[in-house]
Structure 1
Amino acid sequence: MAGLDHKAAPQYNFVGRLLGPRGNSLKRVEASTECRVLIRGRGSIKDPGREEMMRGKPGYEHLNEPLHILIEAELPVEIVDARLMQARGILEDLLKPVDESLDFFKKQQLRELAMLNGTLREEGAHTSPSVSPFHNSLSMKRAKTRG
């Protein structure tokens, strides 16, 4: 998949947006598409010191590359391409920089985080249902790959 363009949006937290509260946004993408989504490249490890320490070690060659996403799937041949394209479409929509005042997905992520932390305070009447770029928003299991 194409890289995450930090030059075009230097303040945009691509990794945080992809992961969501406690990794739940990424888990939902994986569960709904049965694909595995991997964050790779510079900035993919949260701790910059650890990332620097791991750079050049076997299995961490990707740290010399720009930040990017790798989508994997081990599915039957008749559905694998469609699922990979579905995952790519969801991720492209999810990672498109949006003006913060119009960013309903980020607002939903912050609301979910407040619920998880027990700090959610409802304002007004009922809030709208979950805003999500993918349809299966209930499952939190990480997609398993065969092998």
Structure 2
Amino acid sequence: MHSPSTQNWLNTQNNSSGLIVKRTLRIDIPVDQYPSLPLQYNFVGRLLGPRGNSLKRVEATTECRVLIRGRGSIKDPVKEEMMRGKPGYEHLNEPLHVIVEAELPVEIIDARLLQAREILEDLLKPMDESQDFYKKQQLRELAMLNGTLREEGSQMSGSVSPFHNSLGMKRAKTRV
């Protein structure tokens, strides 16, 4: 059995002030800061990742909600144009940005928002594709989700058939 002081130490989060606060921060997506980038650099795709999984991981890690807003936040430009000006879509008149929301105990909310900001700002720094480990991980994850992942150097790299080795190679001769 735990002594009262040990029990108290183990449940420090439960013994917080109990005050839950809601805070929001905005991070502008630096579309205009990189004029030398290819026109179609996909900041939104980089944030979302395969099937939205990258953004979901940021949310799970930080316990913050992350929303992509502004011009270019809707994948289909025709749909975005139709939604512009409608109630709830006023953000489409603003530059592309991210809203980070948190509703957490007052003792941890600032740390979680800072953590989310650091992760997102890091993702929003364009880099040369050959150096972009994060994008390589996203593409690998997408291949896994689609069932098309082929490991470099694996025996199946030339074929998707699981029978490649057994049918394509002769058996070694054995002495009888």
Q: Calculate the TM-score normalised by the size of structure 1.
A: 0.82
Decide which of 133, 140, 144 is 1:115's aligned counterpart: 144
Give the whole-Å Cα distance in 1 for the aligned partners of 2:144 and 2:70.
Answer: 31
Cα root mean square deviation, aligned: 1.1
- After superposition, the C-alpha distances for 1:29-77 in whole angstroms (9 at most, x for unaligned) are 0000000000000000011111111101111000000000000000011
1:29-108 paired onto structure 2 within 5 Å: 29-108=58-137
Q: Does 1:6 align with 2:31?
A: yes
Q: What number of residue pairs does the alignment pair up?
A: 125
Please say which structure displays the higher CA radius of gyration: 2
Q: For 2:60, what is the secondary structure of its paired residue? A: helix
Q: For 2:31, what is the secondary structure of its paired residue? A: coil
AA partner of residue 88 (structure 2): G
| Deviation of the 1:11 alpha carbon | 3.1
If asked which structure has higher relative contact order (CA below 8 Å, sep 6+), I would say 1
- After superposition, the C-alpha distances for 1:75-115 in whole angstroms (9 at most, x for unaligned) are 01111111001000000111110111100100000000000
Q: For 1:2, what is the secondary structure of its paired residue? A: strand
Give the whole-Å Cα distance in 2 for the aligned partners of 1:62 and 1:6.
Answer: 16
Give the whole-Å Cα distance in 2 for the aligned partners of 1:37 and 1:43.
Answer: 16
- In structure 1, list runs of 5 or more residues that go unmatched: 126-147
- In structure 2, list runs of 5 or more residues that go unmatched: 1-25, 155-176
AA partner of residue 5 (structure 1): P
